[in-house]
Amino acid sequence: MRLLDALKSSTEYLEEAGIEDAFADAEILTFDAAGADRLAAYMENPEITKELLSKIRRLIRRRAKGEPLQYIVGHVDFLGLTIYVGKGVLIPRPETELLAEEAIRTVQSSKFKVQSPKSSSRQRSTIPALRILDLCSGTGCIALAIAKATPDADVCGTDVSRAALRFAKKNAEVNEIENVSFLEGSLFAPILGSALFDLIVSNPPYIISADIPRLQREIKDWEPLEALDGGTDGLDFYRKIFADAAGHLRPGGAVLCELGFGQAAAVKEIAQKSGFRDISVNKDYAGIDRILKAEL
């Protein structure tokens, strides 16, 4: 059997299982298993061994059962970083890259730089590094993207999930990022008593509990619900984050968080009531209010 024959039967198998993007998923899994790039696969269409065929079939059967493609492949790209994912950790979404990019813009803005000049400054040793906190860090993708783009910052990620932290630490290692640490615990619990932060970022769970049964099965049956469930109105984590954020930020510090659909007004109000003055919201590629920035 040749590789493209395996692709054809894999596609049919996924179609019969009701997988929406059967062909695209079959292509990725089949070529990934063969270690072949797409062009080479089509140009050369190599003969495949029995072992490779059973490997392909194992992957395809996992996808047919609804397991997310990203868990099967084992990693995703996040702003150029290789982020390992698997059972127990939320898969980074494209819109979360916008949050990380906004965080990077914020820490590199002149307002923040005053606090921590680049390494060329003679005063460097006397000026503390920028401190950034990522709550509900999951795979660590946001913390890692910020840490990589801002080598003179100390980034700390916290998460309640031990499984998630294992991925986050592995992701730091794989991407060779050292100015980041990951701590286990709920929100601010692991950093109580530490120095103030310049920026707090978070993509917290924000789905309304009652909406969870209506999510795609790839999400509701496979991804950790604790990373998705934001309580009765989806806003539980924003209330908890803003209740404590000001106490952990230096004057002029900021909170940046990802929002769920339709949550901008409510979260803005929560931030205002917690003493944040300048609040702005950015849209994602779909035109949905997605990133909220609140400054003290």
Question: Given the rule CB under 6 A, which residues bind ligand GLN?
Answer: 93, 203-207, 219, 228
Q: Which is nearer to ligand GLN, 109 or 186 (CB)?
A: 186
Closest approach of ligand GLN to the CB of residue 264, in Å: 15
Closest approach of ligand GLN to the CB of residue 57, in Å: 29
Q: Which is nearer to ligand GLN, 7 or 138 (CB)?
A: 138
Q: Which is nearer to ligand GLN, 40 or 219 (CB)?
A: 219
Closest approach of ligand GLN to the CB of residue 190, in Å: 20
Closest approach of ligand GLN to the CB of residue 15, in Å: 25
Q: Which is nearer to ligand GLN, 34 or 98 (CB)?
A: 98
DSSP assignment of the chain equals: -BHHHHHHHHHHHHHHTT-TTHHHHHHHHHHHHHT--HHHHHHH--B--HHHHHHHHHHHHHHHTT--HHHHH-EEEETTEEEE--TTSPPPPHHHHHHHHHHHHHHTSHHHHTTS--TT-TTGGGSPPEEEEEES-TTSHHHHHHHHH-TTEEEEEEES-HHHHHHHHHHHHHTT--SEEEEESSTTGGGTTSPPEEEEEE----B-GGGGGGS-HHHHTTS-GGGTB--TTS-HHHHHHHHHHHHHEEEEEEEEEE--TT-HHHHHHHHHHTT--EEEEEE-TTS-EEEEEEE-
Q: Which is nearer to ligand GLN, 258 or 295 (CB)?
A: 258
Closest approach of ligand GLN to the CB of residue 259, in Å: 9
